[in-house]
Amino acid sequence: MNYNFDEIVNRRGTYSIKWDGGKLLKEIGLTERYDEETIPLFTADMDLPVPQPLIDALHKTVDHRIFGYSIFPDEYFEAIQHWFKTRHDWNILQEEIIYSPGTVHALNIAVKAFTDPDDGIIIQRPVYPPFTSAIKGNGRKVLNNALKCDSEGYYQIDFEDFEAKAKEEKTKMFVLCNPHNPTGRVFTLEELTKLADICAENNVLIVADEIHGDLVRRNQLFIPIAKAAGDVDTIITFTAINKTFNVAGLHCTNVIISNPQLRKTFQSVMGMHLPSPFTVSALIAVYNEGEDWLEQLKEYIDGTMEWVVTFLAERMPKVRVRIPEGTYIMWLDFSDYHLSPEDVHDRIYNRANVLLEDGKMFGEEGLPFQRICIPSPRPIIREALERIAKEFEDLI
């Protein structure tokens, strides 16, 4: 079937943190202004309807009328295996799959399970803020292998610095984000192989957040690091339906661990987590019947990104931006306005009444940036950028 992603679905009153969470967002300092006219584009979930097979599956679950403790049937694991084999040519064994109620939860478990206080963990800033929180919150040391950004806004890995940090005696883990959030890099086979080789040589465990792996541009190839590495015994991979199919509220991350001992340790530290029956039926539905929807979604997101780049070139030419290789995130560089991050924030969040994410949340490398999540109907994106452009007109 054909999906109309231009349809605006009113999410207010549906317990959405994005559209109903103004009080919380003010309390945690994300914004000072939030009202009925706010356009929130800060969080990585979509304002787009999910695949019809998913809706049908959830209706079937509701119609059963009993929502007791649930198990993982064979169909659950078979759907995961089928998806990753057909989409990414990655063979996953059923016993390698561990359910987690969330990716951030799984990351914290991995940090606790496989490192000790004061151990070093490598991350690549600017990067998703919970990476830092998981490390510092558990008493570990952040080792920042900052990505290098060229004049065109393209980010690359500083391998010399990465290897130096991997060689440090207290370095025990590397948390990879691929596709990278917020820069949108999809790392190449060569890059992934080199990272894996360095980690293997220095006994550094790789924890790979690959939850955006299905959301890449038409001309890009996503490669799981478990496929690029020569040895998968020291690799833990997070996958999820949450980003791909807009079901973050159903809490479904799957952790892939090939090494039996690592798997046993991870499960022991995490403890038992049973799924919701809605989570089970959702995953089976989207991985078996959601591919057509995903291809239409990717086409729509690619088109929106092309529109954003064209709009900014015409209306805000001082904003530097490039279409990311993956994710539905765009990373906007405001440095050519020569404004303080606070002034940029004020113009966007308070005056334009659009809610993005300040780049400083992703590390000091992100100070002049704003992160915008664009998987919303294009009329919403147009209105948001029109408002922002108006507040910078005096600086052109």
Distances (CA, A) of 332 to 110, 123, 184, 359: 32, 21, 12, 9
Predicted local confidence at residue 85, as pLDDT: 98
Q: Which residues, 6 or more positions from 6, have their beta carbon under 8 angstroms from its beta carbon? A: 377, 378, 379
Determine the Cα–Cα distance for residues 190 and 177; give it in Å rounded to an integer: 16
Q: Cα separation of 279 and 260, whole Å?
A: 26
What does the pLDDT read at residue 396?
A: 67
Ranges of the chain with pLDDT below 70:
396
pLDDT for 27: 95
Q: How many CA atoms lie within 13 A of 295 on its CB side?
A: 6
Q: Which CATH number fits domain 17-51+292-395: 3.40.1280.10, 3.10.20.30, 3.40.50.300, 3.90.1150.10?
A: 3.90.1150.10
The tokens 């530290």 sit on which residue? 269
- Given this model, what pLDDT does residue 290 score? 98
CA 148 and chain centroid, separation: 20
Helix (H) or strand (E) holding 275: none
Neighbours of 312 (CB within 10 A): 19
| Topology annotation, domain 66-289 | Aspartate Aminotransferase; domain 2 (3.40.640)
Backbone φ and ψ for 195, nearest 5 degrees, come out as -60, -45
State pLDDT tens for residues 33-53.
999 999 999 999 999 999 999
Pairing status of strand 148-149 against strand 155-156:
antiparallel
Distance between CA atoms of 30 and 226, rounded to whole angstroms?
Answer: 36
Q: Which residue has the tokens 């664009």?
A: 374
Range(s) within the chain of domains with CATH label 3.40.640.10: 66-289
Would you state the pLDDT for residue 31? Answer: 94
What is the model's pLDDT at position 230? 87
DSSP string computed for 81-136: HHHHHHHH-----GGGEEEES-HHHHHHHHHHHH--TT-EEEE-SS--HHHHHHHH
Q: Whole-prediction pTM value?
A: 0.96
Where in the chain is CATH 3.90.1150.10? 17-51+292-395
